Structure 1
Amino acid sequence: MSQPLRIVVRVHAMPPEHNAGAEHMLVSMLRPLVERGHDVQVWLSQQGAARQRYDYRGIQIVPPSADLGFATGLRGADVVVSHLECVPSTASLARGFGKRLVVLCHNTFRPSFRDVASGGTALAVYNSHWMQSEAELFFAEYPKSTRPARSLVVHPPVFAREYATKPGEAITLINCNLEKGARVLDALARRMPDQQFLAVRGSYGEQLFPSLPNVEIVGHVDGTDMREKVYARTKVLLMPSSYESWGRVGVEAMASGIPVLAHPTPGLCESLGEAGVFADREDIDGWEAMLRRLVTPAEFRLASKRAKARSAELDPSADLAAWCDAVEEAPGARTAAR
């Protein structure tokens, strides 16, 4: 690029206040754009604790209270990026100002694909191959929908060096709501009083924490602190989720060779691969049996080795290079930058 692009992002919330997988995927995708010299601003649609602009890992974050001029900011953008519930309104503004829109898709729910198909999407980014396949089924079912000009698969990038540590001794669940498996954690902790469990507060959903002496409740953790506050204390990560489009925390844990015991959602099967240990979330007997095996030294060593190997396979370098190239080559972006 002859000149840096001005990239304007519209989302509802960001770290360090809001630490969900979608937001940390976004952060890890914006960081290399900043490293390439582009001007990246994230404008929040919801007011949180921050009242002024702040910097998060080189990214400029603009809360609503700090600046009312999002429309003006978008008008001066070369590329506009959005995800989740902010896509419809951002897409309307992008169309009105003739800007090219990049949409990040984090789930396979019908509204996600409808938003992508609303027209004017220059680039749709899917976080897994199974999501891309689901999108193709949607467009086949609704042939009159407007396909994005281009689509790309970017697995939620995890920089292993930022998470790798020596595993601890606890059995951990991150985000203790029902859909993530709070009841499975409760059942296992009651059946295994000899084991220490960590229950980490999540960013969304009603949090249900077991009131048991062998369960320690860990408060909301910023992504930059996950290594020290969570993974350095974890021996096995539990992911009994009813739905995961990918499952970023599982990949973060594998960077340290932490085995992941998971419900076989399509996303977790794709992300964890052969390193995953899978059991149906309704089969508590099966979860207990597998967990008791995983914490034995011999089984842990084997599972840990597989986890580290899978982490290496998921090196994000190629995905991120393709992502940055796609943003820079988005229709209209190169011309606008000159």
Structure 2
Amino acid sequence: MTRTSGGPGGRTPLRVAARLHGYPPRLNAGAEWMVHSMLRALVERGHDATVWLSRYSGDREPYELDGVKVVPLQARLDFSSAVRQADVLLSHLENVQATGALARGYGKPLVVVCHNTHAHSFRDMASGDTALAVYNSAWMDRQAELFFTEYPKSVRPDTSLVVRPPVFAAEYRTRPGKKITLINCNADKGGRLLEQLARRMPDTEFLAVAGAYGEQILPDLPNVEVVEHVSGHEMRERVYARTRILLMPSFYESWGRAGVEALTSGIPVIAHPTPGLTESLADAGIFADRNDPDGYEAVLRKLQDPAEYRLASKRAKARSAELDPTTDLDAWCTAVEALAT
């Protein structure tokens, strides 16, 4: 029977308990901000969302972020009680199997958010009775179907949904700055290429933003400014307001949230053509192979032409408008509410 009355739209507020290894503002990777945006949407719909952290974070007291409650590992030890009282459990990445076991033990529906197409992600999701699988791109949805076709004995989720990592344009939009920026300077994201380009273009200003994970390659060069790890709520002022062009020469991206954030301000994005980035950036993307520094330098010099930059910026803004998250988030909230019927 559907839970009704009392809440928004006649719905009784749901209790959603999420088990995650880290969370903003300490951990500001794309996966964490995607889940935060989704939980925030549930809160705005009148539901209760609480994140229980599974790793030490340095925080000792619970806190709130945009209405989402966050309980650090060392603050409280009663996650099992929260599971018993929850209507829905949610997890991603390393916590999927453990949270799935709790969902089975307590008879709770489990939501799994998938952020990559690695086989172990699909295996973890298929190891339990997943009520709802959320994929961050159409490409990942297709890859999941290939996995279940190849491994027909795996347990499919009851239902699945594509939710593109929600980016609220008004919260990121700004006037672009002057620098060429790389966010998360580990090797897989393009840290070495940034250093190569900075050496090749000594009269050009670069911005190296330290990331949430991976060994950071932070060039010690006069034309490279290094910015330490930045909270998502500060990206507009500390990063995008100082950025003219964003580099995304990533070895792997299942989507590429930073690129979509940059598009909101009409900032052109030069990216390696991963399946995720070609889907997220679409016609706005300027694609060059990450192993071709000559190509990246040529594109950067081409964008010094004001007319070329205006055209690239116009395409970026148009793509940003296409990626308005309203429809995806409405479908997401509706799917979670259906789990409590």
TM-score (normalised: structure 2)? 0.97
Task: List aligned pairs for 1:1-338, cutoff 5 A.
Answer: 1-2=4-5, 3-330=12-339, 333-334=340-341
- Give, as a single letter, the amino acid of the residue that structure 2 aligns with 1:47: Y
Give the drift of 1:295. Answer: 2.6
Q: Contact (CA 8 Å) 1:119, 1:147: kept in 2 or not?
A: no
| Greater relative contact order, per chain length (Cα 8 Å cut-off, separation 6+) | 1
Residue 119 of structure 1: CA displacement? 2.6
Report the Cα offset of residue 115 of structure 1: 1.2
Counterpart CA distance in 2 for 1:49 and 1:145 is 38
2:181–2:243 Cα contact (<8 Å) kept: yes
- Partners in 2 of 1:74 and 1:297 — Cα distance? 56
CA contact (8 A) 1:107 1:245 kept: yes
Determine if contact 1:235/1:295 at 8 Å carries over to the other structure: no
Separation in 2, partners of 1:100, 1:120: 8
CA contact (8 A) 1:124 1:150 kept: yes
Query: What is the SS of the residue equivalent to 1:179?
Result: helix
Alpha-carbon separation, structure 1, partners of 2:209 and 2:305? 24
Q: Partner amino acid for 1:191?
A: R
CA distance in 2, matches of 1:256, 1:314: 13
2-side partners of 1:226 and 1:57: how far apart?
Answer: 16
Matched residues, number: 332
Q: Percent identity?
A: 66
The CA deviation at 1:211 is 1.1
Mark the runs of 5 or more structure 1 residues left unpaired by the alignment.
none
CA RMSD of aligned residues (A): 0.6
Which whole-Å CA distance do the structure 2 matches of 1:146 and 1:18 have between them? Answer: 31
Partners of 1:84 and 1:110 in 2: how far apart?
Answer: 12
The superposition leaves residues 227-256 of structure 1 with CA deviations (integer Å, 9 ceiling, x where unpaired) of 000000000000000000000000000000
Q: Which amino acid aligns with 2:164?
A: H
**Which TM-score applies when normalising by structure 1?**
0.97
Runs of 4+ more than 4 Å apart: none
**Shift in Å, 1:296:** 2.0
Letter in 2 for 1:269: T
Say if 1:102 and 1:123, in contact at 8 Å, map to a contact too.
Answer: yes
Letter matched to residue 199 of structure 1: A
Note if contact 2:112-2:130 (Cα within 8 Å) is conserved in structure 1: yes
Gap regions ≥5 residues in structure 2: 6-11
SS at structure 2 position matched to 1:198: strand
